[in-house]
Amino acid sequence: MKVKFKSRGDWTKTKEFLKMDPSKKFRSIIERYAQLGVQALTAATPVDTGKTADSWGYEIEYGDGKTTIWWTNSNVNDGFSIAILIQYGHGLADGTYVEGRDYINPAIKPIFDGIAKDIWKEVFR
């Protein structure tokens, strides 16, 4: 069975798209959503002293055909991330357990959805 394709015009735009470094084209989108992620996490973090909420940041890693956003929280006590202890729960010295609160996933989901939507828009632009 033979399959034959015919096209009109040239493939210039397609070739340019395939050759480009996606990290450059999408960098502004990624940067914007990284900042929005910090804002969302800050707003969603349960507040006692406010230190954990105020300790969110991000790092962006480009390379190997992928881009990674690392949201970080610098509030650490005795080697443990307070943000993670709030998220998943933790035991106390007196034997009681503080149940976790899932605040990270609901806060960051709209950020992931926005990244996907805006990247796809850019791809098809």
Q: Which domain holds residue 99?
A: 21-123
Total count of domains within the chain: 1
Structure tokens at 117: 């939507």
The model's pLDDT over 67-85, given as tens digits with 9 standing for 90+, comes to: 899 999 999 999 999 999 9
Report CA dihedral (22, 28, 29, 35) to the nearest 10 degrees: 130
Residue 73 lies in a domain: yes
In a domain, 6, yes or no: no
- Per residue in 20-48, pLDDT tens? 655 567 889 999 999 999 999 999 999 98
52 within some domain: yes
Residue 113 lies in a domain: yes
**What type of residue is 47?**
V
Interstrand relation of 89-91 and 80-81 (parallel, antiparallel or unpaired): unpaired
Angle at Cα 61 formed by Cα 60 and Cα 65, nearest 5°?
130
Question: Which pTM does this prediction carry?
Answer: 0.78
Residue 10 belongs to a domain: no
- Residue 28 in domain: yes
